[in-house]
Each structure stands twice: as C-alpha cells, then as structure tokens.
Amino acid sequence: MLKLSGLCAVTVDDMLLPRLSALVKAALDGGAPFVQYRNKTAPRPLRRAQAAEMLRICRGAGARLIINDDVWLAVEIGADGAHVGRGDAPGGSLLAAREALGPKRILGVSCYDDLALGEEAAKAGADYIAFGSMFPSRTKPDTTRAPLEVLGKARRLGLPVAAIGGITLDNAPQVIAAGADMVAVVSDLFDAMDIKARAEAYQNLFAARK
C-alpha cells in the first residue's frame, strides 16, 4: 500500500497565476506534502498553465501534485496523480482512469459518504479514497455530509483514507482520530493570515499521532 499521509492543500479558484503561486508556496513552506490543483472556473489553457506552474513549485519543494477532476491534464503535464469524483473519470470508468494514469501515478477517488464507492475504488486500483464533506463546507455548501464513523470503516479496505469538507485546525483532530490519514483543506488554509504557520500546524497534528 502506498503511504500517503498529511495535509493536502487544495487550491482556490484564482485566475491570477502569480497570486496562486504565492499562496501555494506558502503552504509548501509550511510542510504540506501534497497540493491538489483545483480550478472549476478557468478555461483549459489557463488551467494547464497553472497546473504546470504548480508542478514546478511542488517539484522544488519535494511535494506531490494531484490534479482535480482531469486525468488527462495530469498525464499531459506529468503530475503525480489525479483525484476524481462522480463522472470525472474518462468515460465514467475508474478502471479507465487507472489505466490512463499508469501504475506510478496516484489515483484518488471521492466516495462522499458511501463505503460501497470506496470498495469499487479499491477494486479499480485507487491509491487513496476520500470521504466528505465531514463538516459544513464553504467551498461546496450543498454537498453530501459524511459521518465521522465512515473514516474508520473505510480503513478496513486497506487504502489510505482522506477527509475533506469543512476541515479546520480545530476539527481536524477529530477526523484524524476517527481514521483519516490525510486532510484536504481549502479555506481554513488559504484564508489564514499566516498560511505557512497554518500548514505547519496541520502537519504537527500528524506528527503528534506517530
């Protein structure tokens, strides 16, 4: 099993590449081991440029870049992997996503509150499975809520488990204690006055668990 643990810094929808780069650099300076590039509003040429720059920054920091929702963009720029939700895999097939990424890239799959989706992802060759929204989320206010108990149950599938949705420094200990190996964070990280310090604080939660 691939060892995946710690903070996943999920990018904000920002059209300005220099500003986005500065935000991500701060998170990486704080020790974030993963960045998930996510931009739902930008046209593809801008998304490609931003993703390529995120990859360059991550390479310099020794971190991994995961592309949200776009397997082919991940392959095109040579990212470390892709994260897919419902309908995001090529042809709607997780097996096709696994094949497109190849054996060396990471495949993460959103399972919402559904363990059956986790089982399907595991059978298709996912490297980690994500559940949430764990708490009310400003990024996705209408998304499905998942109970904390699903994290512990998901660990029985033998894959690293990520928690997403409304994660803050205050509630992150709850999801880690419940079984999360990773926490994916948007607002509480990138809205912080000191992004580097906030990323360090998240990483310290995982260090304390060891």
Find the DSSP H helices in 62-210.
71-77, 94-101, 115-124, 149-154, 172-178, 187-190, 195-209
- pLDDT confidence tier of residue 210, bands split at 50, 70 and 90: low
What is residue 87's predicted lDDT score, i.e. its pLDDT? 84
User: Domain residues of the chain, as ranges?
Assistant: 6-209
For the residues 64-91, what does the mean pLDDT come to? Answer: 95
Active-site annotation holds for 196: no
- pLDDT confidence tier of residue 155, bands split at 50, 70 and 90: very high
- Residues 6+ away with beta carbon under 8 Å from 152: 178, 179
Specify the higher pLDDT residue, 40 or 37.
37
Residue 25 CB-half CA count within 13 A = 10
d(CA 168, CA 188) in angstroms, rounded, equals 5
For the residues 120-149, what does the mean pLDDT come to? Answer: 91
Active-site annotation holds for 19: no
The CATH number fitting domain 6-209, selected from 3.40.50.300, 3.40.50.150, 1.10.10.10, 3.20.20.70:
3.20.20.70
Catalytic residue among 38, 47, 64, 98: 38
What is residue 1's predicted lDDT score, i.e. its pLDDT? 60
Catalytic residue among 140, 145, 153, 196: 140
Please say if the pLDDT value at position 63 is more than 90.
yes
- Determine if residue 22 is left, alpha or beta; phi over 0 gives left, psi from -120 to 50 gives alpha, anything else beta: alpha
- pLDDT cut 90: percent of the chain above it: 87
H helix count then E strand count, the chain: 9, 8
Catalytic residue among 64, 98, 105, 110: 110
Active-site annotation holds for 25: no
What is residue 138's predicted lDDT score, i.e. its pLDDT? 77
Exposure b/e, 85-123, CB count within 10 A at least 16 = b: beebbbeeebeebbebbeeebbbbbbbbeebebbebbbe
- pLDDT confidence tier of residue 88, bands split at 50, 70 and 90: confident
What is residue 208's predicted lDDT score, i.e. its pLDDT? 72
Which pair of tokens denotes residue 190?
């990138």
